Amino acid sequence: MSGQPASARRVGMEVSIAVSYAVQMARAEAIAAYPITPQTHIVEHLSSLVANGELEAEFINVESEHSALSACIGMSAAGARTYTATSAQGLALMHEILFITSGMRFPIVMTVANRALSAPLSIWNDHSDIMAARDIGWIQVFVKNGQEAYDHTLMAFKIAEHPEVLLPTIVNLDGFILSHVVEALEFLSQEDVDAFLPPYQPKYRLDPKKPVTMGAFAMPEIYTEVKYAHQVALSNSYGHILRVWDEWAGLTGRHYRPVESYLTEDARILFLTMGSLTEVAEVAVEEMRAQGLPVGLLSLRLWRPFPFDALREAVKGAELLIVCDRALSAGGPGGPVHSEVRNCLYPLETKPATVNYIIGLGGRDVPPKAFHDILARARQEAESGPTGEFFLYGVRG
């Protein structure tokens, strides 16, 4: 699969390979990764790009994901544009370092090919890995198809490295469902990418000519202020994210928003999805519209910083919001996305009722029919009151 990426033309390509080409076109300089299904094709292809001299970079084959992200911190601290990718158990093993990466403000870009967490062991897709890493302080976006995966991988570097942002960024793409599917994709030319994404200029780096101490510890007198600074930076990254997305729209015609709306005009019932589920839901919503049902679809693209205002605006006029989660917070309120959405909408005087459906765990297929079933059940719940905090769609027993 090695070779030059196609420039500014449509090609059929596996999404993982497209992501690795995006990393190549971003001229990433330093990569450390550990193999884990379904992330493997991304790092395999990057390895071959480096091995063939098609990407001027160093690739460290570390002995664990914990060391992968640790080595990435070292490379980023040295001043290199740094990338890694992982999934599920790998993300969980990185957990400790995820917080340190953002706390120390290293603009590392990571692809997470979302996969279920053990046990039982499952290599297949859901969002339990990234939802367990919700509070890591990184910028986090979700993509619904291969084109978006390519686009957002490139944009992630530009967002992360902005001197006023300096935050690590995760692009979430659904394992197998997206990572291993072949799609028609449009690539930018290298010249356009270079003009869009100039070389990384680190604000601080480890340099004997200008020594700095990184990773000092904080006593109670200062810890809160450092955390507040991180919160302000992550919150303020919102404007920079929108600016980069707007610039991308000017370049490609593909315009991304923190909350995407599909057939929402006059909709009284809204689905809310994330990731690849969105394209399936689009098909279902089209069918519902054809049946004359007042149904629309919201897709949450930006998970962190959470787009509070955009979501509040997007639900205006709706009576019922059906939040589809792909992870279960066991013993809790159900899906993490629903929890946050309900939290976001709570202060509104007029707001839709919300119901939570958890679907597609551990790679369980979600056909458009599932959304029809959910709609029927949700409308019943809306009339007679919710039957519980959440509903685990399709569960047997």
Partner 1 sequence: MDKFGFAQSQKFDTYASRLLPREEYFTSGHRSCQGCGEALAVRWVCKAIGKDAIIAHATGCMEIVSSGMPQTSWMHPWIHVAFENTAAVAAGIETGLKILARKGKIPEPLPAVVAMGGDGGTSDIGLQALSGALERGHNFTYVCWDNEAYMNTGIQRSSSTPYGAMTTTSPPGKRSIGQATWKKNMVAIAVAHGIPYVATASPSYVFDLYFKVRKAIETPGPAYIHVLSVCPTGWRSATDLSVRLGRLAVETGVFPLYEVVNGRYRLTVQPPKLRPVIDYLKPQGRFRHLRKPELDLIQRQTLAAYELLLAKCQAPYPEFPVLSHEEETIAEGA
Q: Which residues between 49 and 68 bind partner 1 (CB under 8 A)? A: 56-58, 60-64, 66-68
Site for partner 1 contains 346 (CB under 8 A): no
Applying CB under 8 A, the span of 10-18, 186-194, 207-215, 376-384 interacting with partner 1 comes to: 207-215
Residue with smaller CB distance to partner 1, 218 or 232: 218
Residue with smaller CB distance to partner 1, 97 or 298: 97
Pick the binder of partner 1 from 88, 104, 274, 355 (CB under 8 A): 104
Site for partner 1 contains 247 (CB under 8 A): no
Pick the binder of partner 1 from 135, 164, 191, 207 (CB under 8 A): 207
Site for partner 1 contains 219 (CB under 8 A): yes
Which residues, at least 6 apart from 297, have a Cβ–Cβ distance to it below 8 Å? 261, 262, 263, 264, 270, 271, 272, 273, 278, 281, 282, 285
Number of residues that bind partner 1 (CB under 8 A): 45
CB of 210 to partner 1, least distance (A): 8
Q: Are 110 and 35 in contact (CB under 8 A)?
A: no
CA 170, CA 233: separation in Å to the nearest integer?
A: 16
User: Which H helix or E strand runs over 11?
Assistant: strand 10-14
CB of 164 to partner 1, least distance (A): 21
Q: What angle do CA 309, 311, 313 make, to 5 degrees?
A: 70
Pick the binder of partner 1 from 184, 195, 222, 376 (CB under 8 A): 222
Which residues, at least 6 apart from 266, have a Cβ–Cβ distance to it below 8 Å? 294, 317
CB of 46 to partner 1, least distance (A): 14
Residue 61 region by backbone torsions, left for phi larger than 0, else alpha for psi between -120 and 50, else beta = beta
Residue with smaller CB distance to partner 1, 119 or 216: 216
Task: Provide the β-strand partners of residue 30.
Answer: 58, 82
Site for partner 1 contains 139 (CB under 8 A): no
Site for partner 1 contains 100 (CB under 8 A): yes
Site for partner 1 contains 226 (CB under 8 A): yes
Q: Are 322 and 295 in contact (CB under 8 A)?
A: no
Cis-peptide into 168, omega within 30 deg: no
Phi first, then psi: give them for residue 164, nearest 5 degrees.
-90, -5
CB of 39 to partner 1, least distance (A): 18
CA 172, CA 110: separation in Å to the nearest integer?
A: 9
Pick the binder of partner 1 from 20, 37, 39, 70 (CB under 8 A): 70
Pick the binder of partner 1 from 26, 80, 131, 337 (CB under 8 A): 80
Pick the binder of partner 1 from 8, 51, 184, 212 (CB under 8 A): 212
Site for partner 1 contains 74 (CB under 8 A): yes
> Is the sign of the CA dihedral 110, 113, 114, 118 positive or negative?
negative
Six-digit token string for 280: 């399936």
Pick the binder of partner 1 from 25, 33, 36, 72 (CB under 8 A): 72
DSSP state of 54: S
Site for partner 1 contains 161 (CB under 8 A): no
Buried b (16+ CB within 10 A) or exposed e, 304-313: bbbbbebbee
DSSP state of 363: G
Site for partner 1 contains 78 (CB under 8 A): yes
Applying CB under 8 A, the span of 40-48, 76-84, 168-176, 363-371 interacting with partner 1 comes to: 76-84
Which residues, at least 6 apart from 329, have a Cβ–Cβ distance to it below 8 Å? 131, 335, 336, 339
Pick the binder of partner 1 from 218, 229, 232, 395 (CB under 8 A): 218
- Residue 131: which of 170, 164, 161, 188 has the closest Cα? 170
Residue with smaller CB distance to partner 1, 31 or 270: 31
Site string for partner 1, 22-51 (x = CB under 8 A): -------xx-x-------------------
Using CB under 8 A, list all residues that contact partner 1.
Answer: 29-30, 32, 56-58, 60-64, 66-68, 70-80, 82, 96-97, 100, 104, 206-208, 210-219, 222, 226
